[in-house]
Amino acid sequence: MTVTAVTTWEGTPTAITLVVAGSKAAIEIHESLGARNPRLMRDSNGELGVAHYAIDFDSHEAYGKFMDAMQAHEWWSQTMEAVAEAYPDLQMKGTTVFYDALQD
């Protein structure tokens, strides 16, 4: 069953450009920890202050293993420090984990 974790970011247009750069830089790290198909989704209607970073996993268990590995990685502490410094111009609103209910 494919599981997709989507982290929502809100911020000023300038701060969102940091999310774009950070997301590009995170691809290799996330993939090395088990994530697949990383992408940063933006609103086609021109909403400049929101971005959604999505990554896929083969199961909820695989997502859990990824989270354990990511939070133990030095990249995580550096990222959390940068997010705290960017507040209130940039806010990580949270992560929602979805599964495909149509997939067998």
- The total of structural domains in the chain comes to 1
For the stretch 1-55, pLDDT in tens is 899 999 999 999 999 999 999 999 999 999 999 999 999 999 988 788 999 999 9
Residue 104 resides in a domain: no
Q: By residue range, what is the domain housing residue 27? A: 3-99
Residue 81 resides in a domain: yes
Is 80 exceeded by the pLDDT of residue 60? yes
CA distance 78 to 80: 6
Residue 83 resides in a domain: yes
Give the CB-side neighbour count of residue 27, counting CA atoms within 13 A: 9
Cα 33 to Cα 46, 49, 71, 98, 104: the distances in Å are: 32, 28, 11, 19, 25
Q: Using only the alpha carbons of the chain, give its radius of gyration.
A: 14
CATH code of 60's domain: 3.30.70.100
Asked if 38 and 26 count as a contact pair (C-beta separation under 8 A), the reply is yes
